[in-house]
Structure 1
Amino acid sequence: MEVVSSAFEHGEMIPAKYTCDGDNVSPPLQFNDLPSTTMSLVVMVDGIDSSSGTMTHWIVWNIPFVKSIAENSVPGVEGKNGFNTISYCGPCPSSGTHSYYFIVYALDARLDLQTGTSRNEVENAMRSHILDKGELMGKYGKQT
């Protein structure tokens, strides 16, 4: 499974529009080679360079079997991110350039979870339903 974006290439810089220095909206994502038995998708966005470890910037599940997600859309049920909010929180490093992973899971089921569910609960619920996984990595450094 491949995850791509029309906004940036894998390993390249994420445009400021999708960060705290811009509009802080989620970027468009496209999915290639999804398993034919996919029932739903899960998207998690992780910053891995935080001083406190991995920081979840967005989590959304029960996305229908689609080939793309539009910019600034909420295509499913959102969970609580690492900032204790229920929304997309774009990259916003305090210093240096950090890496951000847009991880997409194809599942053979929908998850029976409420809005605001924690990442751990989502991971536990989806563990036995993962058909495939893909990721897109982008980088961002604070604008000065």
Structure 2
Amino acid sequence: MTLTLTSQAFRQNGEIPAQHTCQGADVSPPLEWSGVPPNTKSLALIVDDPDAPDPAAPKITWVHWVLYNIPPTATRLPHGATAQALPGGTLEGINDFRRAAYSGPCPPVGRHRYFHKLYALDTVLPDLKGPNKAALERAMQGHVLTHAELIGTYQKR
């Protein structure tokens, strides 16, 4: 069985609805997954934009959401997931907006791609005290069993 990640809000390579962006309510889209390997101890989620600031000349990957220690029994994150709505034990890292929360697409120019990456890990990570993406990726090294990716796009109107 393969790890898969989907959303009821948008399809693979489809447009992310405005309600999940800075031009709307800026709430997280619902995410669902299946195919978690049986030896998974935790899951991690990173949402980022490799097209910042301009898809014609990208310079950085902008991070929108960092979650880890999601229980392997969890199968979804609800629409508008706040810290209180996350599965028990889930910890949040710091995004590039300097927040421990979801911050949606807000591209300054052009149509950007937003990568929602779910990782199955063979361990429960220690409390990393609000890690950024790089710190989480370092902690995950050697522990990734598999991963799934869902890409959405957005351009300001």
Same fold (TM over 0.5): yes
Point out the more displaced range, 126-135 or 113-122: 113-122
Cα distance in 2 for residues equivalent to 1:8 and 1:115: 32
Point out the more displaced range, 41-50 or 63-72: 63-72
Alignment of 1:58-73 (within 5 A): 58-65=65-72, 66-73=74-81
1:81 aligns with 2:83: no
Instruction: Indicate the SS of the match to 1:105.
Output: strand
1:118 aligns with 2:132: yes
CA displacement at 1:114 relative to structure 2: 3.4
1:32 aligns with 2:46: no
Cα distance in 1 for residues equivalent to 2:127 and 2:133: 11
Identify unmatched segments of 5+ residues in structure 2.
Answer: 54-58
1:136 aligns with 2:143: no
CA displacement at 1:83 relative to structure 2: 1.8
Instruction: Indicate the SS of the match to 2:135.
Output: helix
CA displacement at 1:58 relative to structure 2: 0.5
Letter in 2 for 1:28: P
Q: In structure 2, what is the equivalent of residue 15 of structure 1?
A: 17
Cα distance in 1 for residues equivalent to 2:130 and 2:69: 13
Letter in 2 for 1:25: V
Q: Tell me how many residue pairs correspond in the alignment.
A: 143
Runs of 4+ in 1 over 6 A off after TM superposition: none
Q: Deviations over 1:54-108 (max 9, x none)?
A: 1111101011111111112242211111122211110001121110000000011
* Same amino acid, percent of matched pairs: 38
CA displacement at 1:113 relative to structure 2: 2.4
- TM-score normalized by structure 2? 0.87
1:50 aligns with 2:52: yes
Cα distance in 1 for residues equivalent to 2:153 and 2:131: 27
Letter in 2 for 1:125: A
